[in-house]
């Protein structure tokens, strides 16, 4: 299984990087993880310009990395860890060898990104910093595969 995380911006905090590194190492047992850190536009004077530029970069990356597209979206569908593991397993059984997780920029993503996504996934109604969300996502991916493979990590 190929797992791609397509995200806007770079992570600067060491404690987040350390957590990501740990779960990336653990994920090697289940598949190949690749992170695409795309440039943050940072145009605070015009949110729409930032959304369009960042979304264009996401679309270009998705074009090169075909697969099932899961957008992290506060208005998306909520799953328990067990339900999401079942969903991931179905994606694999249906023949998709790549799953692309998309984390937009601080202003969100374009309507086109929402439209082309195969699943819009919400972790919570709360807002999380994008850097921390990447760590949470990687931990959950590891948890989902641990559930699928029936390892002791998930209790």
16-51 confidence digits (pLDDT tens)? 999 999 999 999 999 999 999 999 987 777 899 999
Q: How far apart are CA 126 and CA 65, in angstroms?
A: 30
Cβ(142)–Cβ(153) under 8 Å?
yes
List the structure tokens of 150.
Answer: 């029936």
Cα 90 from chain centre:
18
Cβ(79)–Cβ(121) under 8 Å?
yes
Span 82-124, pLDDT tens digits:
999 999 999 999 888 999 999 999 899 999 999 999 999 999 9
Name beta bridge partners: 36: 6
Query: Could you tell me the pLDDT band of residue 154, with boundaries at 50, 70 and 90?
Result: low
């Amino acid at each position: 299984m190929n797992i791609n995380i397509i995200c806007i911006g770079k992570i600067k905090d060491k404690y987040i990087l350390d957590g990501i590194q740990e779960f990336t190492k653990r994920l090697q047992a289940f598949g190949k993880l690749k992170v695409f850190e795309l440039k943050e536009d940072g145009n605070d004077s015009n949110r729409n310009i930032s959304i369009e530029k960042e979304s264009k970069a996401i679309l270009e990356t998705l074009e090169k990395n075909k697969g099932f597209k899961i957008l992290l979206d506060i208005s998306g569908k909520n799953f328990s860890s067990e339900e999401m593991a079942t969903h991931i397993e179905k994606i694999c059984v249906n023949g998709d060898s790549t799953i692309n997780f998309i984390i937009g920029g601080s202003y969100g993503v374009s309507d086109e990104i929402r439209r082309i996504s195969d699943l819009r996934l919400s972790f919570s109604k709360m807002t999380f910093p994008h850097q921390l969300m990447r760590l949470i996502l990687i931990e959950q991916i590891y948890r989902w595969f641990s559930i699928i493979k029936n390892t002791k990590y998930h209790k």
